Structure 1
Amino acid sequence: MAREINWQKSSFSGNTNSCVELAPSAIPDAILMRESDDPDVIVTTTREKLRAFVLGVKAGEFDHLI
């Protein structure tokens, strides 16, 4: 039997269908990610890599891309 995935999105997303959702993985230390408007595409990453990405976003590392 497949386990249920409990997706979570930021409270800053409000009721929009355009946000990133996260969920714990059955694999230790792994995180699942998807875009709510394309829920069939799921990416797996580690907590360490996700943390580094979030810190980079907060520090403005990717501002030149938007």
Structure 2
Amino acid sequence: MNKKRGILNMNNESLLKLLAEYKETKKCLETGLNWLEEKDYAKGKLDIVNVIIRDLEAAIGAERI
């Protein structure tokens, strides 16, 4: 029996919702950067969010194959 694990076990609709949430988070972080004097920490978090977005987009693309 071949079981899918992790993120690929989620259905496409769930992945799309999660992707939308992370894109909204990215937009909020980018907007908030303008208000900060020291931006390094927020930029680091934004980098992490961007990696998650790319991974989700790749997972969604992989499910369509």
Answer whether TM exceeds 0.5 for this pair.
no
Higher helix share: 2
TM-score when normalising by structure 2:
0.31
| TM-score normalised by structure 1 residue count | 0.31
- Structure number with bigger Rg: 2
Higher relative contact order (CA 8 A, sep 6+): 2
Q: Whose strand fraction is larger, Structure 1's or Structure 2's? A: 1
